[in-house]
């Protein structure tokens, strides 16, 4: 039964593409210190680490471009220049390491999913480059601008397709105008318009489309389900959650009552009521008597309180202010639909159903569910993991890992289960997923047992259990498939995976790249010869990734 519920507590939160995904990689040593991981299918590097340059006082961008110029044959590019790359972000972390994200360009057009993450130490040494570049662009140079569709024509194709799919006109809440990208599928590069459309009626949708810019053919499409503030005084109100537990919630109080608006965290945390309708955000929650003790209040109390706790965890433990690192507003809507057995990140906010009382009770009633969904938002604004195959499974896995760790942060430690508090209320002791033993839900616990079909976007909820098991072993230790792992605790596990996610993962990361990225993150934090690095290596070996 449970293995058929894999789509619950989920969302396609990032753009999807089947190209550029590597299936197998191998490590080689290129010099005394330079470790190169190669995608054996494409022959392209996807992770290089070591002392890759001499100390320098140059700007980090210049250091990276100089290295790419040296390695133009390895990367099959014409040097590292603004002609080939656009710098899309540059940040300095708590270790003094500069993280740069470079978008690959071809004739000035972004290559979808082809992003490099580079790291330069405080003394100007390039220490790693992760991500894979495209290298075969066929006859794209021969395409004339006059032969292409206009952006408006591409937009019309998208809207017509959505209407046909839904048998109704969607009520659009957000959309991106079509923009040209290089889209690569099955090794073939095409000029395409990329477009995203988000809507909630007649059903939730956050569709990403790729439209052939010459023919208007839909190359790929995926559903990525993913008002003025009241004035008043900041206050703390009391309430009861879904399970009847008492909580304190941050509110704004005025003569009308108390609103579920927390202005003390980032740019605000707001909780809305959909009143069982399929509309978001709905109406900002207001309680006239300043108390949130009614049964109907429980879902809102938990969504609001748990969003605050998740915000505090990422800010206090990892120094990240809200999901985007810039204090972004966290918006939640509860009582969405009737008997709705799901929760999701829409691409811009959280949405929680009430469940049908049999499979789920209100889904905001579990901290690990709230933390799971908000971690999708962290992923969306950092690694941008493509929601398909390996990268999609890693996306889901990281949400499960932080869901468990964040819940454990506020209790006696993680129980390494997901949604156990609100799943199948008539049955004790079960959960939607178990990180400790994925096989309890019919899920694989080893890479050799991974699902390789097309269902579930290539098994994003199924294969996520593989690295879930690695995280459990890393934190707790144990022997799995005859490999012994020394546990390092959930705090260090969280630190390693957070750094892996925000610093080293790129949109098309594979499981094997995930392994080398986690090793590099642990090396940054604890040193190459540390017990923590040894445990990371052992944890991934235990799930079949060496």
Give just the sign of the alpha carbon dihedral 11, 395, 494, 87: negative
Query: Residues 89, 101: contact at Cβ < 8 Å?
Result: yes
Q: Which residues does 223 contact at the CB level (< 8 Å), separation at least 6? A: 12, 205, 206, 207
| Residue 446 DSSP class | S
Measured distance CA(398)–CA(423) in Å, rounded? 20
Contact between 137 and 183 (Cβ < 8 Å): no
| Residue (of 211, 212, 209) closest to 223 by Cα position | 209
For the chain, the distance separating the N- and C-terminal CA atoms, rounded to the nearest angstrom, is 33
Strand 350-352 to 330-334 pairing: parallel
H helical segments located in 365-463: 367-380, 389-409, 455-459
CA distance 208 to 67: 34
Q: Are 323 and 377 in contact (CB under 8 A)?
A: yes
Interatomic CA distance for residues 149 and 544, integer angstroms = 47
CB neighbour list of residue 279: distance below 8 Å, 6 or more residues apart: 200, 201
Cβ atoms of 292 and 299 within 8 Å: the answer is: no
d(CA 184, CA 188): 5
Please name the residue that has the structure tokens 């941050």.
250
Half-sphere CA count of 424, side-chain side, radius 13 A: 11
Give the active site residues.
373, 461
Contact status, residue 161 vs residue 153, Cβ threshold 8 Å: no
Maximal CA-CA distance, the chain:
71
């Amino acid at each position: 039964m449970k293995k058929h519920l894999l789509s619950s507590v989920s969302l396609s939160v990032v753009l999807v593409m089947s190209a550029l995904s590597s299936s197998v990689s191998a490590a080689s040593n290129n010099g005394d210190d330079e470790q190169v991981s190669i995608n054996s299918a494409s022959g392209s590097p996807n992770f290089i680490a070591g002392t890759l340059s001499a100390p320098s006082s140059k700007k980090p961008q210049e250091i990276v471009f100089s290295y790419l110029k040296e390695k133009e044959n390895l990367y099959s590019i014409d040097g590292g220049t603004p002609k080939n790359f656009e710098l899309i972000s540059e940040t300095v972390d708590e270790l003094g390491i500069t993280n740069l994200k470079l978008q690959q360009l071809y004739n000035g057009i972004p290559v979808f999913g082809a992003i490099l993450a580079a790291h330069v130490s405080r003394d100007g040494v390039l220490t790693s480059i992760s991500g894979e570049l495209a290298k075969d662009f066929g006859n794209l140079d021969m395409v004339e601008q006059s032969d292409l569709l206009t952006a408006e024509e591409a937009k019309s194709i998208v809207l017509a397709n959505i209407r046909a799919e839904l048998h109704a006109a969607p009520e659009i809440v957000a959309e991106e105008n079509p923009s040209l990208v290089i889209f690569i599928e099955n090794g073939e590069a095409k000029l395409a318009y990329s477009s995203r459309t988000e809507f909630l009626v007649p059903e939730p949708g956050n569709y990403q489309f790729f439209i052939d810019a010459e023919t208007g053919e839909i190359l790929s499409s995926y559903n990525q389900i993913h008002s003025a503030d009241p004035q008043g005084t900041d206050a703390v109100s009391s309430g009861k959650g879904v399970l009847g537990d008492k909580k304190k919630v941050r509110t704004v109080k005025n003569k009308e009552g108390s609103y579920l608006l927390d202005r003390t965290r980032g740019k605000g945390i707001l909780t809305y009521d959909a009143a069982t309708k399929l509309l978001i955000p709905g109406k900002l929650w207001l309680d006239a008597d300043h108390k949130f003790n009614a049964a109907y209040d429980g879902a809102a109390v938990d969504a609001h309180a748990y969003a605050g706790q998740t915000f505090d965890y990422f800010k206090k433990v990892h120094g990240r202010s809200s999901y985007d690192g810039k204090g972004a507003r966290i918006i939640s809507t509860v009582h969405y639909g009737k008997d709705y057995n799901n929760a999701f990140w829409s691409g811009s906010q959280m949405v929680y159903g009430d469940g049908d009382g049999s499979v789920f009770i209100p889904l905001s009633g579990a901290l690990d569910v709230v933390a799971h969904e908000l971690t999708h938002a962290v992923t969306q604004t950092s690694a941008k993991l493509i929601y398909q195959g390996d990268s999609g499974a890693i996306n889901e896995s990281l949400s499960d890992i932080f869901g468990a760790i964040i819940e454990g942060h506020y209790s006696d430690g993680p129980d390494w289960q997901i949604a156990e508090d609100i799943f199948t209320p008539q049955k004790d002791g079960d959960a939607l997923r178990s990180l400790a033993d994925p096989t309890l839900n019919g899920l694989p616990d080893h890479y050799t047992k991974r699902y390789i079909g097309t269902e579930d976007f290539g098994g994003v909820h199924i294969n996520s259990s593989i690295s879930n098991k690695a995280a459990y072993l890393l934190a707790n230790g144990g022997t799995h498939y005859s490999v012994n792992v020394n546990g390092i605790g959930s705090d260090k596990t969280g630190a390693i995976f957070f750094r892996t996610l925000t610093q080293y993962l790129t949109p098309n990361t594979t499981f094997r790249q995930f392994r080398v990225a986690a090793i590099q993150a642990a090396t940054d934090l604890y040193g190459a010869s540390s017990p923590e690095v040894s445990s990371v290596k052992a944890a991934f070996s235990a799930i079949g990734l060496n």
